[in-house]
Amino acid sequence: MGLLHLIVSFITLELQVACNTITVAEQSFGVVHAQALISLIADIEAFDHAAELIDFLGNEAEVTLNDTLSLAVGSGYRAIFQPAARKYLRSDAGQVLWPTVKRLKLIELTEIQ
């Protein structure tokens, strides 16, 4: 791994606070899922680019047709990320080239029904 790592941003300030403050996360998602969420964010930031993250997580990472990345947060939630900034590349077919993604934005955190 190089010196630059994936950067995670958030669609709202409220979501950023919930994901970076354990007490807020625990109130919002419960103790177990809060710990899983904060660990997930830290794990993401340890990778150089999104493709490494996807490869590492294997079947736990779902890349969607609308260029989002869905990751499990414990057994009760899914975190939906999209490439952020405009510095990533796309294939000739228009698909995101995940090795070029250095920034992910958390756009949604949904409870699994």
Domains and CATH numbers, the chain: 7-111 (3.30.2310.20)
Supply the pLDDT for residue 1.
47
What pTM was computed for the model? 0.90
What residues contact residue 59 under an 8 Å CB cut-off, 6+ apart? Answer: none
DSSP symbols for 29-42:
H-HHHHHHHHHHHH
34-57 pLDDT, tens digit per residue, is 999 999 999 999 999 999 999 999
- What would the mean pLDDT of 82-99 be, rounded to a whole number? 92
Separation between Cα atoms, residue 30 and residue 27, nearest integer Å: 6
Q: Where are the alpha helices (DSSP H) in 1-113?
A: 13-20, 22-29, 31-44, 50-57
